[in-house]
């Protein structure tokens, strides 16, 4: 199958009854455990104004995790580009890349049409129309050359970013739609494909990207959910017994910036879907599902959400078992 990379995807989920500081500290300990268990990287999600995820700055938490680890790559999955100045984000990315010895990886996304846009003053247009302009300005600032802007959103004279990057920094782009796929493909940037879709849909996005950018050598990333137990029935029971209690308030908290009503998906149905699509089960099933995803999609870099039990101790056990009983089986099949 070629080289395979497997990482963890940390959402810092706000399960009911858990103190917020405890959740964030547990996410850091999960990252440390992932390095110990043999995972290749750790990716940190960013959310605002919803208990779906309690980390409002993926870059900030990534910086802390980089300080607590020594081997794994640490990335953002993703920093929301529609609510931050691209040059400021580029400065932070270059800074972390330098001080970590090249272990930082930037991931960015368009985000959603949420109230975040109103709170941070960037506006709905940054989400609906401004993503390509923001991404191009980010790329220019990451290049190390003097950067200026004269577009509809950003206007400023040439400035020279410091520190300069020591190597090319090419962000990964979260892709959930054809327009964003075209933006990423036009710039040869790798895609991050969400866990809300299965292998066939991921493969279709990869095929569409290849048609749009046939010469690109971008290495895409696929996200999924992982929960291992002695039997598949036990693993499914853990996830179905915990995830809806987090998903219901987490998804319901989203508010649209345009005031239109938002109707979140059914939490129980979504949980069942995640269990079917992803490595939730016995060690053998988890390894088989991961192998199938890699072979079907052609994506050889997978990141796994491991906090589905809602319990910090159980999460650490999940990470340890995945590292000991699942990752070697996947890597042995290369």
Given pLDDT bands bounded at 50, 70 and 90, which one contains residue 333?
A: confident
Per-residue pLDDT at 1 exceeds 50: no
Q: Mark 78-117 as b/e (b = at least 16 C-beta within 10 Å).
A: bbbbbbbebbebbbbbbbbbeebeebbbbbbbbbbbbbbb
Domains annotated on the chain, with CATH: 5-332 (3.20.20.30)
Residue 156 main-chain phi, psi, to 5 deg: -160, 155
CA distance 92 to 332: 37
Per-residue pLDDT at 109 exceeds 60: yes
Tens of pLDDT along 176-228?
A: 999 999 999 999 999 999 999 999 999 999 999 999 999 999 999 999 999 99
Per-residue pLDDT at 150 exceeds 80: yes
> Across all residues in the chain, what is the average pLDDT?
97
For residues 93 and 112, the answer to whether their CB atoms sit within 8 Å is no
The predicted pLDDT at position 334 comes to 59
- pTM for the whole structure: 0.98
How many helices (H) and strands (E) would you count in the chain? Answer: 13, 14
Tens of pLDDT along 121-135?
A: 999 999 999 999 999
CA distance 53 to 23: 10
Q: How many alpha carbons fall within 13 Å on the CB side of residue 171? A: 33
Q: What is the mean pLDDT of residues 85-106?
A: 98
CA distance 55 to 23: 9
Tens of pLDDT along 9-24?
A: 999 999 999 999 999 9
Using omega within 30 degrees of 0 as the cis cutoff, is the peptide bond preceding 163 cis?
yes
The predicted pLDDT at position 55 comes to 98
């Amino acid at each position: 199958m070629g080289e395979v990379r497997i990482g963890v995807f940390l959402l810092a989920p706000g399960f009911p009854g858990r103190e917020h500081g405890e959740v964030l500290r547990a996410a850091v300990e999960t990252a440390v455990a992932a390095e110990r268990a043999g995972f290749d990287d750790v990716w940190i999600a960013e959310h605002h104004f919803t208990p779906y995820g309690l980390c409002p700055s993926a870059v900030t938490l990534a910086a802390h995790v980089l300080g607590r680890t020594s081997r794994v790559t640490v990335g953002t999955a993703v920093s929301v580009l529609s609510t931050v100045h691209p040059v400021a984000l580029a400065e932070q990315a270059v800074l972390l890349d330098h001080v970590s010895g090249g272990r930082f990886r930037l991931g960015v996304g368009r985000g959603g049409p949420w109230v975040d846009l109103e709170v941070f003053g960037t506006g709905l247009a940054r989400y609906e129309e401004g993503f390509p302009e923001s991404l191009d300005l980010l790329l220019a600032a990451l290049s190390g050359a003097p950067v200026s802007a004269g577009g509809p959103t950003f206007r400023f004279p040439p400035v020279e970013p410091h520190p300069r990057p020591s190597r090319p920094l090419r962000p990964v782009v979260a892709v959930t739609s054809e327009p964003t796929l075209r933006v990423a493909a036009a710039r040869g940037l790798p895609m991050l494909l969400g866990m809300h879709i299965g292998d066939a849909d991921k493969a279709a996005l990869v095929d569409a990207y290849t048609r749009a950018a046939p010469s690109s050598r971008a290495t895409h990333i696929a996200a999924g959910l992982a929960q291992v137990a002695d039997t598949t029935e036990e693993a499914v029971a853990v996830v179905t017994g915990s995830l809806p209690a987090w998903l219901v308030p987490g998804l319901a908290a989203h508010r649209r910036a345009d005031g239109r009503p938002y109707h979140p998906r059914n939490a129980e149905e979504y949980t069942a879907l995640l269990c079917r699509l992803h490595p939730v089960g016995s060690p053998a099933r988890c390894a088989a599902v991961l192998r199938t995803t890699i072979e079907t999609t052609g994506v050889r870099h997978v990141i796994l959400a491991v906090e589905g039990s809602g319990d910090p101790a159980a999460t650490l056990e999940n990470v340890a078992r995945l590292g000991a009983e699942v990752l070697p089986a996947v890597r042995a099949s290369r």
